[in-house]
Structure 1
Amino acid sequence: MKSEKKSFFKNFPLKLLSLLIAFLIWLIVVNVNDYKVVKEYYEIPVDQINGEEIESRGYVYDVISGETVDILVEGRRSVLDSLSKSDFEAVADLSKLSYTDTAKISVTCKKAGYDNKITITVKDDALKLSIEEKKAKQFEVKVDTKGSVADGYALGTPEISPSTVSITGPESLIKKIKNVKAVVDTSGLKGSKTVEVAISLLDGNDENVSFSRLDIDTTKVKVTIPVNETKTVPVKFSTKGHVANGYMLTAINEGIDEVLVSGPAESLDSINYIFVNDIDIDGLTSDKTFERVISDYLPEGVDFADSSDKVTVEIKVEKLYEKSFKLKSEDIIFINTKSAYDYKVELTGPYEIKLIGLERYVSNVDLAEYGPVIDCADLEPGTYELDVKLMKQGKFTINKSGTAVVTISEKEEATEDTGADDNASGENGSGEEE
């Protein structure tokens, strides 16, 4: 034993030095092969916690930047080689926002025992939010159809269930929504169709608005599209009231005279024309254009099936023109007279005939052409106050003032020569006396 002990401690310093040298060589080798490195990990998802604190105050938020984060990790090569992106956890606490609505992002390693082996540096540790007031609004769902139904058929008024949807979200996004639509394909249909379709949210440019930041009570609606037979019916127009005094309604120019309608057979059988009767011309002194929607005048159960249901009605109004004539006795002609009578007329005071009508019909009238006459049919001798009439009618109305007194008398017979008769009688008489 002593001999072995002496052998072990023989050259002990040299042996210790060799062990130390071996350890140093090992340490050098280890450090050469497992040196410290820096590795970058990209797009680590950031978990947002305590966001309910923002929502509890009546606000909603959206992440402007910082939904993912890039990090630099420093550590031994062997340690980093054992780590992947999924071993890191990034968290932003939304209850600790700065005055710029920014939350700090912190990143930790989920593997136990690695915290003291690595150093993590977050490249951009700020999660930036946009915070807005939460708004809720109801929108009417409108139906759009694509494709054409079969010939001889037309679409009726769609029925939608539900007809409105309630949408909640950021105020700016709610304001962006202008229309909520459901699109139904009606190509080749010959009968009614009921389908369930997804709705679309559209902005003012008919571009889709994303659902991602919105809460919607339903994203689908049930749409029933009636498909009915068609019929062409005439359209009649009527005015109410009167144009101003001194003016005349000269024309009603309608944009259409017939339209295409659709509906169940029994409804179509009951409609023979469409009556637009509310064109109010009361007091008009000039032309006026009215616009009407034909579908407003359809009976219940009948739908408009033409390309456009708006019609323009043009009312033409013209000022009346007046032309006056002062009559003389010699201007008047007697008609329906008897050859046995004499006819004389005397005008007491001025006798005036006034023609009232459109200028084009009145301005060039020659009274002689229209023949002012007095009708003496069935009149016996005597004195009468009679009306002066015109033999020829024109496109005007006639006002008359004055009095025409007509005297009718029997014509006197030719006087015979009675002197000879008297002499003859006298002679005959004296002869008898003799």
Structure 2
Amino acid sequence: MLSDLNYGKVDKKMKKILTKNLMWKILSTLLAILLWLVVLNVEDPWTTSEVRDITVQLRSDESITNQNKAYEVLRGETISVRVEGKRSVIDSLTQSDITAIADMKMLSITNSVPIEVSSNKPIEIVRWEPQNLLVNVEDIRTIQASVQYQMVGEPNQPYVIGDVDLEPNIVQVTGPESQINRVKSIVVPVEIDPDNTRDIILDASPNILDEQGNEVSNVSLNTNNIKVNIRIDKERNIPIRLETVGELSEGFMLTDMSYSPTNIRLAGRESEVDAVNVINIDPIDITGMEESQNITIDIADYIPSNMRLVSDVSQIQVNLEIEEVIEREIVIPINNIDVKSLLTNYQFKFLTQEDIVLTLRGRASVVNNISDVDYMGTIELRGLEEGEHTVPVEVGLPRNVEIVGGDPEVSVQLEYIGSEDEDIDTQEEPEDEE
């Protein structure tokens, strides 16, 4: 009973202590809290900042790709975010602390997707720009394209690049329609060592190029590995042999045959090319021809099947000069005959008094231009003794002109007139020195 009375006295005393000057106590507490907030705000104030170049993560893009379509982000790949928070938090904030997500399932009819922004830090996100991801959506196309090669360098002569095989030589190109429309070629670059003389086998990665030779992006191939087989051949100049067969019509002659080229450049396996020494062309049949002819022959018909023509010229141009053969007489006066090798102790005279009449036979263009005054005859007296002699008259004529019946002859007489030294007349030609 006594303890209860004591407890009651203590309780009343405590209440009196707590309630005495209560308003001042409450005011003091509020002032203390306010002071704490002021101190805290001075040391770690509330601030605003902007975080730039935050990459927007794309989600659920299969909602587009599963429809055999492709998309390209036109705007909104990165965003800038304005945030607020305590300086201690804001100052340590990095791009990785802010997450930006665009869910492609939210694609609108205007091809925009809202961007959602969040953070794992105690900050407030005020705004971000842009707020929407803008994309271009188009159909995916697949085309087939042939693979080409581009050689960088070449072997040293006489070696050349032969056949080139690509496996595969046709590939499939897949991508957005706008990019597929830019594709002009699939090119495999191949670098050649100039000192290489053997066949080359290598693997190469193809490049997808547009009309200007620039690479096309956002497209893919069904293979990125092309096997390249390059044959190394040897080049060699080979002469051409061409002849005629048959006979021209009576009274005509083949005055000249020329053809061009006279040799061609072939390429093939070294052992096979080295075994070829001449290209034989089928002879040209001139039977019954009466006028000049220009004939064209395709070289390809005579190239061995295991070789190829390297020369730029693919045809042989043949020129046959055919002229009519005519006969015509010319006269060489007897006093126009030159005497050679007459010794000084001999006298000489012609027994033949008539002028020499020659019948010339040959191509009309030449024979018709021969004049009597253009030619002199020559007789040779070397080794002849005193007395009468019949000697041939030599007449120098153009090529393809002949004397009908052979060289003419004249009769001469030599008479010995003394025993002086047998010097040779000034008209005598010196003997050839051995």
Give the structure-2-normalised TM-score.
Answer: 0.57
The residue type equivalent to 1:197 in the other structure is: A
Q: Distance in 2 between matches of 1:140 and 1:313?
A: 32
Match of residue 423 from structure 1: none
Does structure 2 retain, via aligned residues, the 8 Å contact 1:184–1:197?
no
214, 220, 224: which one aligns with 1:215: 220
Change (3 A) 1:103 1:162: same
Match of residue 125 from structure 1: 131
191, 206, 228: which one aligns with 1:184: 191
Q: Deviation of residue 157 (structure 1)? A: 0.9
Alignment deviations for residues 116-138 of structure 1 (CA, whole Å, 9 cap, x no partner): x5134121123222223222122
100, 108, 111: which one aligns with 1:90: 100
Match of residue 259 from structure 1: 265
Q: What aligned pairs does 1:330-341 form with structure 2 within 5 A after superposition?
A: none
Q: Distance in 1 between matches of 2:280 and 2:118?
A: 78
| Residue 209 (structure 2) pairs with residue 202 (structure 1) | yes
Q: Deviation of residue 8 (structure 1)? A: 4.9
Alignment deviations for residues 320-341 of structure 1 (CA, whole Å, 9 cap, x no partner): xxxxxxxxxxxxx9xxxxxxxx
Change (3 A) 1:36 1:141: same
Change (3 A) 1:138 1:67: same
201, 221, 235: which one aligns with 1:230: 235
The residue type equivalent to 1:80 in the other structure is: I
Match of residue 75 from structure 1: 85
Change (3 A) 1:205 1:271: farther
Does structure 2 retain, via aligned residues, the 8 Å contact 1:74–1:120?
yes
Does structure 2 retain, via aligned residues, the 8 Å contact 1:147–1:188?
no
Q: Distance in 1 between matches of 2:106 and 2:235?
A: 67
Match of residue 389 from structure 2: none
Change (3 A) 1:190 1:276: farther
Match of residue 345 from structure 1: none
Does structure 2 retain, via aligned residues, the 8 Å contact 1:43–1:68?
yes
Secondary structure (helix, strand or coil) at the match of 1:29 reads helix
Match of residue 107 from structure 1: 117
133, 142, 147: which one aligns with 1:136: 142
Match of residue 174 from structure 1: 180
Q: Distance in 2 between matches of 1:62 and 1:28?
A: 51
299, 306, 315: which one aligns with 1:301: 306
Match of residue 27 from structure 2: 17
Alignment deviations for residues 187-230 of structure 1 (CA, whole Å, 9 cap, x no partner): 210211212122222222223x14x4112112221212222333
The residue type equivalent to 2:100 in the other structure is: A
Q: Distance in 1 between matches of 2:153 and 2:233?
A: 16
Does structure 2 retain, via aligned residues, the 8 Å contact 1:102–1:127?
yes
Q: Distance in 2 between matches of 1:141 and 1:26?
A: 77
Q: Deviation of residue 71 (structure 1)? A: 1.3
Q: Deviation of residue 168 (structure 1)? A: 0.6
Q: Structure 2 stretches of 5 or more lacking a match?
A: 1-9, 244-256, 284-293, 320-328, 330-363, 370-399, 401-434
Q: Deviation of residue 271 (structure 1)? A: 7.3
Pick which of 67-76 and 49-58 moved more. 49-58
Does structure 2 retain, via aligned residues, the 8 Å contact 1:41–1:70?
yes
Q: Deviation of residue 169 (structure 1)? A: 0.8
Alignment deviations for residues 73-127 of structure 1 (CA, whole Å, 9 cap, x no partner): 2334344345321122222232333333222222222x28x4xx51341211232
Alignment deviations for residues 32-78 of structure 1 (CA, whole Å, 9 cap, x no partner): 44443221111111122232232333322222222111111233434
29, 36, 49: which one aligns with 1:39: 49
Change (3 A) 1:41 1:270: same
Secondary structure (helix, strand or coil) at the match of 2:100 reads strand
Change (3 A) 1:103 1:147: same
310, 313, 321: which one aligns with 1:311: 313
The residue type equivalent to 1:20 in the other structure is: L
Match of residue 68 from structure 2: 58
Does structure 2 retain, via aligned residues, the 8 Å contact 1:101–1:129?
yes
| Residue 151 (structure 2) pairs with residue 145 (structure 1) | yes
Change (3 A) 1:72 1:300: farther
Q: Distance in 1 between matches of 2:134 and 2:15?
A: 74
Secondary structure (helix, strand or coil) at the match of 2:206 reads strand
Secondary structure (helix, strand or coil) at the match of 2:278 reads coil
Change (3 A) 1:19 1:255: farther
What RMSD in Å do the two structures reach over aligned CA positions?
Answer: 4.7
The residue type equivalent to 1:273 in the other structure is: I
Give the structure-1-normalised TM-score.
Answer: 0.57
Secondary structure (helix, strand or coil) at the match of 2:23 reads helix
The residue type equivalent to 1:125 in the other structure is: Q
The number of residues matched between the two structures is 308
Does structure 1 retain, via aligned residues, the 8 Å contact 2:240–2:280?
yes
Does structure 2 retain, via aligned residues, the 8 Å contact 1:268–1:302?
no
Does structure 2 retain, via aligned residues, the 8 Å contact 1:232–1:261?
no
Q: Distance in 2 between matches of 1:18 and 1:291?
A: 122
Q: What aligned pairs does 1:269-418 form with structure 2 within 5 A after superposition?
A: 269-270=275-276, 272-273=278-279, 298-304=303-309, 306=310, 310-311=312-313
Q: Deviation of residue 316 (structure 1)? A: 11
Change (3 A) 1:12 1:127: closer
Q: Structure 1 stretches of 5 or more lacking a match?
A: 239-250, 278-287, 318-332, 334-359, 367-393, 395-434
Q: Distance in 1 between matches of 2:21 and 2:138?
A: 83
Change (3 A) 1:316 1:126: farther
Does structure 2 retain, via aligned residues, the 8 Å contact 1:274–1:298?
no
